[in-house]
Structures are given as C-alpha cells and as structure tokens.
C-alpha cells in the first residue's frame, strides 16, 4: 500500500475535510473530546493541530508555538488556521490601513519596469513587503487543497463582521499580480509560487477565489502605492535604456555597462 499511495496525498483529504465550514465543531467541544482520548498528559490539542496543518500553505513550517494562542479565543479549526497566519505578523502590520483599493500591474509589467521579486523567509504567507524596488513575497504552494482552504478562510471572514478581511485582501493582491501564464512563470522562477497545477489553472487560481468577495478594507494599499510610485518613476528610464540598447546598438556594443 505504501508503494501505491503517497502519504502526503492521503493526508490531504482529512485536512480539506476538517476546514470545510459545514464540518466545523466548536473548539471547546474538540478540547473536551481530546481530553478524554489523549495519550500523554502534556499533549495539547493546539500542538497536535499545528503539527497536522504545518505544511498546509507552504513547505516552510511556521514557527508559531502553542503558547502564542493562550490569550486567543479559538472558535474552531478554521479559526485556528486564520490565527496561524496572523500571529507571526509584526504588531500593527494591518492596523489603520485605508479602505480604498488601488490596482497594481501584473508581475510581467513590474519586471519590465525594473521591479525585482524575491522569496521572503517569513512565517506567514500574508507578510508581503516592498523595499528599494524589491517585492518580497513568502512562498505559497498552489495545489487543489490550497484553493479550498483559502476559499473557506475568505468565506469565514465574509461571515464574521468582527474579523477584518485580511486573507481576502491577500488573495486580491495576488490576483492582481498574476494575470498571465508568464506571471506564474516569473513567480515560480523566484520560488514564490510552488505550482502543482497547470499554468492556465494557476493563472486563474486567485481570481476565482475572490470573485464575488467584498473587502470592506484593503490591507495592502500601502504596498500598492509604493509599487505604483516606483514604477511611475523608473519605467521611463528603463524604457529609454532598453530602446537605446536594442535599437541604437543591435549588437549591444558599448551598452553592457548600462545593466
């Protein structure tokens, strides 16, 4: 049986089933059941859950510890996963952001304007930053279960007025960044996306997720402002250098020091 089935594939099905909204059980009830069945007195349900869902967003396991949940009232497993994304973020990261939405160019157009991409070694996929012309994005595994997980987190935020649409904002941001298969390729080359789908499916991945979702606040507006400002300032210079290199000097003589 071990030769016929991949253990990771077998693990995927219960992971997806446990985060479906219709399958959510109050955390208090789960802890009561766990206390009656646990094998070790030192074992906690949060510890077990974090281990089980450790690779649900990427191959990098988050460094969130069970004691970081002690002051958080967990509603159910889906709520736990959302907190798993929010806890590693620096204090005030998503506080006081404006509510407007400003579109950004896709990865290909950013690349043409001289904006670079790099994989961020962060503990949360939400921890995106833009510094000195470099967009730092934590890696994300795009596979079938990822769509279900993110879709349910978005639905959860939509149904809870007290919860800010932070995951929803992340999906909208990434959906703007990926518009073509070339965009998927650029992010894959930089290890930002670990794509397990067909390029065409990966291109539509984020757009299908946030279609119809409403983000009353958009939490990546600051980054969008920075990206658009940088592109507006540098694009004419990059274009002039490109034209000079390829039109005035077809063979590139005398231009190698420009790049």
pLDDT tens figures, 124-153: 999 999 999 999 999 999 988 888 899 999
Instruction: Tell me how far CA of residue 24 lies from CA of 79, 103, 152, 219, in angstroms.
Output: 9, 35, 11, 27
Q: How do residues 198-210 score in pLDDT, each as one tens digit?
A: 888 888 888 888 7
Residues 118, 39, single domain; the answer is no
Residue 158 lies in a domain: yes
Kindly state whether residue 242 falls inside one of the protein's structural domains: no
Q: Which helix (H) or strand (E) holds 232?
A: helix 221-243
Average pLDDT, integer, range 53-72: 86
Judge whether 69 lies within some domain. yes
| pLDDT given for residue 255 in this prediction | 40
**Do 48 and 133 fall into the same domain?**
no
Residues 72 and 127 in one domain: no
Looking at the structure, tell me whether residues 28 and 67 fall in a common domain.
Answer: yes
Q: Which residue has the tokens 């079938």?
A: 144
Counting residues of the chain whose pLDDT is more than 70, the rounded percentage is 83
Q: Has residue 66 been placed in a domain?
A: yes
Instruction: Tell me if 101 is assigned to some domain.
Output: no
* pLDDT given at position 235: 56
Kindly state whether residues 196 and 129 are assigned to the same domain. Answer: yes
* Same domain as 113, residue 53: no
**Confidence grade of residue 259 (pLDDT, cut at 50, 70, 90):** very low
Identify which of 70, 74, 91 has the alpha carbon closest to the alpha carbon of residue 82: 74
Highest mean pLDDT among 6-10, 75-79, 212-216: 75-79
Q: Range with the lowest mean pLDDT among 65-69, 103-107, 138-142, 232-236?
A: 232-236
96 domain residue, yes or no:
no
Q: What is the pLDDT of residue 188?
A: 95
Q: Is the pLDDT of residue 169 over 50?
A: yes
Q: How many domains does the chain have?
A: 2
10 Å Cβ neighbour count for 58?
21
Instruction: Map residue 93 onto helix, strand or coil.
Output: coil
Find the angle CA(187)-CA(193)-CA(194) to the nearest 5 degrees: 135
Secondary structure (3-state) at 102 = coil
Same domain, 35 and 127: no
Same domain, 113 and 181: yes
The packing angle between helices 7-18 and 144-159, to 10°, is: 10
Q: Looking at the structure, tell me whether residues 137 and 174 fall in a common domain.
A: yes
Asked if the structure places residue 28 within a domain, the reply is yes
Write the CB contacts of 181 (distance below 8 Å, at least 6 apart in sequence): 199, 200, 202, 203
The SS3 of residue 237 is: helix
Asked if 11 and 131 sit in the same domain, the reply is: no
- Residue 225 belongs to a domain: yes
- Poorest-pLDDT segment among 88-97, 104-113, 206-215, 236-245: 236-245
Residues 67 and 183 in one domain: no
Together in a domain, 230 and 120 = yes
Q: What is the pLDDT of residue 193?
A: 94
- Per mean pLDDT, which of 95-104, 111-120, 203-212, 227-236 is the most reliable? 111-120
Cβ atoms of 197 and 140 closer than 8 Å: no
Write out the residue range of the structural domain in which residue 72 sits. 7-86
pLDDT reported for residue 98: 66
pLDDT score for 240:
46
**Structure confidence by residue, pLDDT tens digits, 5-62:** 344 544 566 778 888 888 899 999 999 999 898 878 888 999 999 988 888 888 777 7
pTM: 0.84
In the predicted structure, residue 249 carries a pLDDT above the cut 60: no
| Residues linked to residue 100 through DSSP beta bridges, in sequence order | none
């Amino acid at each position: 049986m071990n030769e016929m089935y991949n253990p990771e594939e077998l693990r995927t099905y219960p992971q997806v089933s446990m985060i479906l909204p219709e399958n959510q059980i109050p955390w208090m009830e789960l802890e009561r059941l766990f206390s009656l069945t646990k094998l070790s007195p030192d074992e906690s349900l949060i510890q077990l859950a974090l281990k089980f869902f450790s690779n649900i967003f990427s191959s990098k396991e988050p460094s969130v510890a069970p004691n970081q949940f002690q002051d958080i009232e967990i509603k159910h497993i889906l709520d736990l996963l959302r907190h798993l994304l929010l806890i590693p973020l620096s204090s005030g990261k998503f506080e006081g952001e404006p509510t407007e939405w400003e579109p950004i160019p896709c990865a290909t157009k950013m690349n043409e304007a001289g904006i670079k991409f790099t994989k961020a070694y962060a503990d949360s996929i939400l921890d995106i930053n833009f510094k000195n012309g470099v967009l730092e994005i934590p890696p994300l595994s795009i596979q079938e279960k990822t769509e279900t997980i993110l879709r349910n987190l978005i639905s959860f935020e939509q149904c809870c007025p007290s919860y800010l649409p932070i995951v929803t904002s992340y999906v909208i941001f990434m959906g703007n960044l990926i518009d073509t298969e070339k965009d998927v390729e650029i992010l894959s080359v930089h290890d930002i996306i670990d794509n397990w789908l067909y390029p065409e499916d990966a291109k539509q991945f984020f757009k299908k997720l946030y279609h119809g979702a409403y983000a009353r606040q958009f939490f990546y507006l600051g980054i969008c402002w920075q990206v658009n400002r940088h592109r507006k300032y540098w694009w004419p210079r990059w274009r002039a250098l490109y034209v000079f290199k390829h039109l005035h000097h077809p063979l590139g003589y005398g231009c190698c020091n420009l790049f």
